Chain A
């Protein structure tokens, strides 16, 4: 042992010298190789190997190779695959994103079996290949045995046995003699040129540089995506963003009149549009409704003689034609806050956000807009209006205010009217109209 160490001093040489790494003997055929392998094993060598073009039967015993641990690795992978699949299916379909399909339970073991099976096989297949490579120390592109001259034949028809210098029993002369005695075709020295296997020094900085340069386009793209833009972005795949369909208010040459939106066919009614109860659906008394031209109810309508229509003159309904109760009031409050408060404000004072913004814009640049601050809903003229007229205002709009018939169903419009009435009462109330308790509380607050 000591002699071996003396012969191969571990010098840290500046320029690596070629050194003897072992001996490689070539044999004529399988039996002579098997015989040699047995002898080498019996001689007590450990760091030796046979090199053959195909798996040779019986060589494991001849060399004393222990069974591989590979099956256990693969078994572990199979379990990992099965667990992953089960966990994946549980977490996605039974936990994070549950929905019922074909009446199957959220976590259905029979339905989960195929994926579980597939993933177990997938994981174990990777385990088998990668485990085999790892245990075999592959990939290993620099191998000193490749420098032995006839060794190229190993993948065609060469049968070799190599003893490495790391073996404690290795001896420069004795081992060579030992191999020659095994009846080989030839014995060669394996000289390790000790060529440097380290990566060239410039590679690391170069790699980092290339990585950074390569990232620049991606960073630029990310930046472009994140920045605001006034023109539509270039879309490579537009998906369903642009579809050949007609949107409202668009023209179309498919129809003679060029309109994309089609008027209702004469004599037809849309579902849910028909109310036999005129006061409920129009806010007008039934006989009055039969007499008047309904176009006069629209915003900014003119009488045939050119004068502006006085809406107050119509025979409006004066009582809400629905059961007035807490429920209707609550409904009205909610609908008012959704539809009306943006302009009229939550109290009806006309200070909704839309109105504030419009006023602010107009103030900066005079003449830019024609916005009119909505009238305060609890002002006397509106308090004097019949409920039917307020209903009509919501239905058709008035002057600057658009109609809401298309968004708000009839019953909800009445609910809003009720709530407007409540706002009016609250907005115009005097102190003595409040219940006594409230009066006291307010007075306490003021003081």
Chain B
């Protein structure tokens, strides 16, 4: 062993018979805690943080004004126009819900598969999930027109003696997305309780002590508590796993259950879920690459973590590419002329530019991740991930708009044009997303410290050169 010299910080090399370290450098339990708490406790915040926050908040304010304008004027401020009544708002909704899949996937599915590397990134990914679902929920919320009646979506007794229609996928969607948001929030919060207790115990001011004290519910780290906590975590993971898969499945039902050529296909559920995981991981990577530098977490969110995410993107991106091809195959093989027209029109009709943007961003760009250099070079990864996100947005645009713009009667065909408000709202939703994420980085534990410690070797300071994943 000693004859092979290994860079202690490079944990991307595969050494036979050994598990790669999940935490690099010579870290102890104490130093992990110190690093994770750094941004939340730092008396002087890096100026970059404020720059980022200022930009995000500006866009958040623009979003707010757009919403006020929308509410006071009506949905006519969007480009939604016959025959495309599901324009950007629904595209944005599906886009954001998709992004919101990575977090719970990492925390639940990778937990069940005992993928210990998830511990470094799961907290940030879960937070991202929740913020993405917030952005997603915004769009159908304002799309209903009279927002003050949004509660009509839920089965509440009312003076009109009406009930919602439970045989409609749109109602399933209400249940799926709100359940997903709630369960993700519970999962996220539960995971954070021990780490909030760490913040409480390190607090130097009374305000912080009370704030984190209340949030951590009086957690003592008792082994009896941990035992039930772990059981609850396992159960939540087992529950969240089918839930993650169900959410985008049900979102895809919004399309697939309708009778529109290009939408009415059985491939939608798996294809949407794969796309969601794909875009979600791209977003996690986009956020974590700068965040790990900003928060000083390079040794906890290591290159290996980023590399693993790239591998998942490569896999899901290829599944998505396969789905694109399969849609065409089925359109031809199914022999339905309307379906065939819908697909030929997608690729070579008036929206050809959107279709080919989608294909090149989603299918071609992840192929770079076959090359190790691309998987282990953070800046390059971010560029690819941004392309993937653009591609995934276009995927939803292509699905929604191309099918709708070719109505059944050629006389009602149309060409969808977004308005300025559409564009501002999409960018504004990113403002909302990044604002929430930056606040999260500043006030809550960015890394699941307790979980990272549980996969750290006990005496890492004795073996600074190479640390191994503790195998239970």
Contacts and interface: CB of A to CB of B under 8 A. Distances in A.
B167 interface: yes
Interface in A66-123: 67-68, 70-71, 74, 88-89, 92-93, 96-97, 101-102, 104, 108, 111-112, 114-115, 117-119, 121-122
Interface stretch (A44-52, A217-225, A265-273, A397-405): A44-52
- Please classify the interface of chain A as helix (H, G, I), strand (E, B), loop, or mixed, using the class held by over half of its residues: helix
A47 to B, nearest CB: 11
A438 to B, nearest CB: 49
Interface of A: 29-31, 37, 49-57, 59-60, 63, 65, 67-68, 70-71, 74, 88-89, 92-93, 96-97, 101-102, 104, 108, 111-112, 114-115, 117-119, 121-122, 124-126, 128-129, 131-133, 135-136, 138-143, 145-146, 152-157, 237, 239
Contacts, number: 199
A149 to B, nearest CB: 12
Contacts of B253: 114
Given A114-B175, A121-B183, A49 B222 contact: yes
B179 A119 contact: yes
B159 interface: no
Contacts of A141: 213-214, 217-218
A118 B179 contact: yes
A4 B253 CA distance: 67
B229 interface: yes
B220 A53 contact: no
Given A121-B239, A122-B183, A157-B30, A70 B231 contact: yes
Contacts of A53: 29, 194, 198, 221, 449-450, 453
17 contacts: A49-B224, A51-B223, A60-B227, A68-B227, A88-B166, A114-B172, A114-B175, A124-B235, A132-B228, A138-B225, A141-B218, A145-B220, A152-B202, A155-B197, A156-B29, A156-B30, A156-B198
Given A139-B217, A152-B202, A125 B186 contact: yes
A74 B232 CA distance: 9
Interface stretch (B56-64, B123-131, B242-250, B323-331): B242-250
Contact of A118 (B161, B175, B194, B236): B175
Contact of B246 (A57, A117, A154): A117
A129 B190 contact: yes
A138 B226 contact: no
A311 to B, nearest CB: 50
**Most interface-central of A71, A154, A156 (chain B CB within 10 A):** A156
Contact of A71 (B198, B201, B223, B235): B235
Contact of A155 (B171, B198, B240): B198
Contacts of A237: 146, 148
A156 B201 CA distance: 9
A54 B450 CA distance: 5
A200 B231 CA distance: 37
B168 interface: yes
**Most interface-central of B169, B194, B221, B449 (chain A CB within 10 A):** B221
B422 to A, nearest CB: 24
A152 B212 CA distance: 14
Given A92-B155, A124-B239, A102 B167 contact: yes
A51 B221 contact: yes
B230 interface: yes
B276 to A, nearest CB: 17
Interface in B436-469: 449-451, 453-454, 458-459
Contact of B217 (A138, A152, A153, A155): A138
